[in-house]
Amino acid sequence: MEFVDQMIDIKSIRSQFPILDQKVRGHQLIYLDNAATTQKPTAVIKALEEYYGGFNSNVHRGAHHLAGMATDAFEQTRKSLQQFINAAEVEEIIFTSGTTAGINLVAKCFGEFISSGDQIMVSTMEHHSNIVPWQLLCEQKGAMLKVIPINDKGEVNIDQYKELLNEKTKIVAIAHASNALGTINPIKEMTKLAHEVGAVTVIDGAQGAAHLEIDVQDIGCDFYAISAHKMYGPTGAGALYGKRKWLEAMPPFMGGGEMIDQVSFNQTTFNDIPYKFEAGTPNIADFIAFEHAIRFIEKMGKPTIKEHEDQLLQHAHHRLSQLPDLQIIGLAKHKVSVVSFVVKGWHAFDIGMLLDAKGIAVRTGHHCAQPLMDHLDIEGTVRASFAIYNTIEEIDLLADQLQKIINR
């Protein structure tokens, strides 16, 4: 199986990521852990330096020049995110520390509308961040957590999802794409079905943001959470999209500066959205740098990124499926660039250590998806995940090393 990618200049792309030009344990680094965090282009790293070295200041309400520069750059990221996911209004973009924080915000604040006997639904493949907040909410409110089954390929069973939906369903929380299997879920269809019974949908977009086209108005979802560090941006920054009607109805998440309108010892009134949900000094530098990650993705183009990553994924499936005693876990028809696998007679961690000895970085374990691993009756997997800067040659080297490990 031969692939020729004429759409991208891979050398030019890789030259923008300084961390890739190094050796690990005497071998050229092969970074295949992008589902955990992507590497950062020079533009993102430089933006952090420029903020701290040139206009470091707190945002909003400052009367001086540096505060104005910081505020303008900070709010530009919000505008870019609105366009990036096609939100109807810039005020529907709430800055958070990442996907986990966004989901917890919804669970805490929209959770005020949940009553005893209500139903919250998640799928079998969810990350712990899209399970535990809902479990806590169910315990607090006396609600019920229902689990949407998946089939043997790792795809949501839509027929069983329809059967589980009823007038008691208030929230459906689903990943756009699975971090452990790569499965892309039919979130538009699932949102439509949820709305038919009066439920809202909360989309975990951590794995979707860098790989897939996102149009929250077309999807129709009520909330969509993302993390910058999964999309070539800094850690500790992310965003939550929420429909205006819900954000205005929900109580604040935290109390403090920025989220207030007027404060007295008798009564406090709250700021307008999005600031109602952004108490305290934000992670200014990383949000400013986030803008440059968005620009990088937009310059590359989501279709180009996806075509390249699909090519890598197909080649990885082809090469790894030929190895004896290796089983790929997750064979959904529609996937992002994640391939998880187990090898008979080997613990995933041991394989990860042996690959690391050759400079190949992969992720091992349950990938914060223990219920999924229990469902699959496995302890965990080895996960290789690809980004725009990865190459066919790197996948071949991964397969060659796995062959040597198996031959032991």
**Would you name the residues annotated as active-site residues?**
368
Q: Distance between CA 56 and CA 203 in Å, rounded?
A: 34
List the beta bridge partners of residue 183: 335
- Whether the bond between 274 and the residue before it is cis, its omega within 30 degrees of 0, is yes
Q: Which residues, at least 6 apart from 405, have a Cβ–Cβ distance to it below 8 Å?
A: 343, 346, 351, 354, 355
The full DSSP string for 14-64 is HTT-GGGS-EETTEE-EE-BTTT-----HHHHHHHHHIIIII----SS--S
How far apart (Å, rounded) are the C-alpha atoms in residues 49 and 63? Answer: 23
**DSSP string for 289-323:** HHHHHHHHHHHH-HHHHHHHHHHHHHHHHHHHHTS
Maximum C-alpha span of the chain = 74
Cβ 276 vs Cβ 247: under 8 Å:
yes
Rounded to whole angstroms, how far apart are CA atoms 237 and 228?
6
Give the residue from 400, 335, 407, 382 showing the smallest Cα distance to 32: 382
CA 264 – CA 196 distance, rounded (Å): 43
Question: Quick one: three-class SS letters along 198-249?
Answer: CCEEEEECCCCCCCCCCCHHHHCCCEEEEEHHHCCCCCCCEEEEECHHHHHH
Candidates 100, 199, 208; CA nearest to 148 is 199
Round to whole Å and give the CA distance between 75 and 77: 5
> CB under 8 Å, gap of 24 or more: what pairs does 11-18 form?
13/300, 13/388, 13/389, 14/389, 16/41, 16/42, 16/43, 16/296, 17/41, 17/42, 17/389, 18/42, 18/45
Q: In whole angstroms, what is the distance from residue 130 CA to residue 103 CA?
A: 7
What's the CA gap between 105 and 75, in Å, rounded? Answer: 21
